[in-house]
Amino acid sequence: MRKIIFMLLSGISLACTSNAQWTTVTTGTISTFMACSFGNPSTVYVAGGMGTDSATIMKSTNAGVSFYHLNASFIPAGQCIFSCWFTSMDTGFVAGGDPSPAGTTGFIYKTVNGGTSWTSVVSGVVTALRSIQFTSSATGYASGGFNGTGDIYKTIDHGNTWTPIFSSGTPAVSLYKEYFVNDTTGYVIGDNHTAVRSKCITIKSGSVFSNVDLGAYNDFGCVYFSSADTGFVSAQDSGTYHQRMLKTTNGGTSWTSVYSSTAAYNGAVIRFADHSKGFMVGDANLATTDGGNTWSIFAPIPSPTGSYFDMAISGSVGIIVGESGMILRNGGVTGLQIPCETKPGINVYPNPFTMQTTISFDNEQTNTRIIITDVTGKEVRRINCTGTTLTIDRGQMKPGMYLMTITPANGITTTAKFAVQ
């Protein structure tokens, strides 16, 4: 089990489920879903197909209450969708390739019309791409590679063209998961294939900065960084396969074990709600309330009939996908909805957001000054706006609450709050 996305808002706890139940969504398919992504709070995409299953893409326009099939016949026979990422309601990507251990074919397809049609933007690469993530509407990364054929690709033009920034050399590297904290900094995990020792590749300034061999561990399951330097990976001990949670505070140069178990478990996702509260979901579910220094077992979701592979949360709605066409939905995850708290005449949507949001004004603005500050009062961005709408990319803003101070050239200063997931 290698894949679950867990997006949590600042201050959330998924352990509070007394009035929030996970229910099964009927899909009419037995395909294994490997990935899911929200395009906006009401639009959800799930994708997959594994083994003898045909590639499958489904879409919901009612926040996951029901799904319908999209055309996936453009995916070559025998190939799998491992990952998907949508930067808006209509624009998104699926990545994957040959799922066999000797798989040497990978792809990325893009849609700009909500999945009605798809265009190949990466094809013929010699590695199955297992992870794709965008840090803004323009900048994204994709990585993967079985059998020591690991590659990392980057786009800066909204996913239209992709350039390799890392190619497996000697020793060979297999790559499984990635997490990018902003447009230029991220981490990709895998192993060095022949000796089965875990690897952590650091990307800084958009190119490979370091390639660290962690010889004591032989299987990384997932990765998450709460800042450019502080991060976590789920791993298994070399030889025993016992579960570990590892933490770094120096950008992956060295790692310390902060949780261990004699069970042969591994994680599929790590995410933090704020600087203190964090979660790992996978074969065993863990939680921390002290910034990841200590972890303990918790059980927020029902026992699966198969493996979970991906999870996404937007607003108060959570979606989990997995084997045999499994989709679970929770429409009332306590504490997930953050109020917009804007003044009349100003609308921020989506709020909260992961990649970008749009500020809409009832009246035409001329050289209106907008200052964005974090919860400590530190200024993180200053913008001048002319017109009735302004799109704000996440950029390097970390998850949490932000305040916008809006001052028209000839008007009264107002404020609006938004949240970054």
Task: Give me the CATH number covering residue 406.
Answer: 2.60.40.1220
Of the candidates 333, 318, 357, the one whose C-alpha atom is nearest the C-alpha of residue 7 is 318
**What is the total count of domains within the chain?**
2
**Gap between the Cα atoms of 251 and 416, Å rounded:** 34
End-to-end CA distance of the chain: 24
- Residue 282 has a pLDDT of 65
**Gap between the Cα atoms of 52 and 56, Å rounded:** 12
- Residue 113 has a pLDDT of 96
Per-residue pLDDT of the chain (421 residues; tens, 9 = 90+): 333 333 322 333 333 333 346 788 988 888 889 899 998 888 999 999 876 678 999 999 999 999 999 999 999 888 889 999 999 899 999 999 887 766 568 899 999 999 999 999 988 777 889 899 998 889 999 998 776 667 899 999 999 999 998 887 655 677 888 888 888 888 888 876 555 557 777 777 777 777 777 667 777 778 888 777 888 988 888 777 788 888 989 888 888 889 888 776 666 777 665 567 677 766 667 778 788 888 887 654 555 556 778 878 776 677 888 888 889 887 764 333 333 334 446 777 777 788 888 888 777 888 888 889 887 778 899 988 888 888 888 888 888 778 888 888 766 677 777 888 7
Are residues 254 and 114 part of one domain? yes
Q: Which residue has the tokens 């059980």?
A: 299
Are residues 321 and 361 part of one domain? no
- Residue 101 has a pLDDT of 62
Side-chain-side CA neighbours of residue 386 (13 Å): 2
Are residues 278 and 360 part of one domain? no
- Residue 157 has a pLDDT of 95
Are residues 259 and 118 part of one domain? yes
Whether 46 maps to a domain, the answer reads yes
Q: Which residue has the tokens 């016992």?
A: 242
Beta strand pairing call for 43-48 and 356-374: unpaired
Supply φ then ψ for residue 401, to 5 degrees. -90, 145
Full-prediction pTM beyond 0.85?
Answer: no
Whether 341 maps to a domain, the answer reads no
CATH code at 279? 2.130.10.10
Are residues 28 and 130 part of one domain? yes
65 with 42: CB under 8 angstroms?
Answer: no
Lookup: tokens for 187 = 């981490």
Q: Which residue has the tokens 């009832």?
A: 362
Amino acid occupying residue 210: S
Are residues 81 and 213 part of one domain? yes
Are residues 297 and 186 part of one domain? yes
Whether 226 maps to a domain, the answer reads yes
Q: Which residue has the tokens 């791993």?
A: 235
- Residue 411 has a pLDDT of 64
Are residues 323 and 249 part of one domain? yes
Are residues 201 and 151 part of one domain? yes
CB atoms < 10 A from the CB of 263, how many? 12
* Residue 354, domain extent: 346-420
**Gap between the Cα atoms of 268 and 289, Å rounded:** 19
**Gap between the Cα atoms of 126 and 145, Å rounded:** 8
Task: Give the H or E element holding residue 402.
Answer: strand 400-407
